[in-house]
Amino acid sequence: MPTKAVLENEITESKIGNASSAFSSFLKIPTAGYRHNKDGKFGGPSSSTLWSRSAAGSKSSALDFSRNGNEFRDKDRAFGFSVRCIMD
C-alpha cells in the first residue's frame, strides 16, 4: 500500500483532479464508495477514498476523490475504504 507521498506524486504526475479523471487514469480508480465506521452502512457511491499507509495514532491519511476534486484527510481506521497497491 502506498504512502501519502507516493499517492500525492501519482495523482500529480497523472493529472488526476477528480473522481472522473481518477477512473480514466492508468490507476483506474472506480467510485467504489465506502463502509461507514459507526454502523457499516454503505455511503458515497459517487466518490472513492483510498487508504495510504501513512498513519498517526488511530487515524490514517486517506485520499478522497469526488466530482469536485480530491484531497487528503486523516480518517478513523474503522472506515471501510478501498486500497490500491502501487508497485515500485
pLDDT in tens, 20-70: 998 898 888 888 888 888 999 898 778 889 999 999 899 999 999 988 999
Residue 88 maps to a domain: no
Q: What domain range is 46 assigned to?
A: 4-76
Bridge-based pairing state of the strands 42-43 and 59-66:
unpaired
Residue 37 maps to a domain: yes
Number of domains in the chain: 1
How far from 12 is each of 18, 25, 78, 87, CA to CA, in Å?
12, 11, 28, 17
Residue 87 maps to a domain: no
Residue 34 maps to a domain: yes
Q: If you ran DSSP here, which 8-state letter would residue 68 be given?
A: T
C-alpha cell at 59: 487515524
pLDDT at 32: 87
Residue 11 maps to a domain: yes
| pTM, full prediction | 0.79
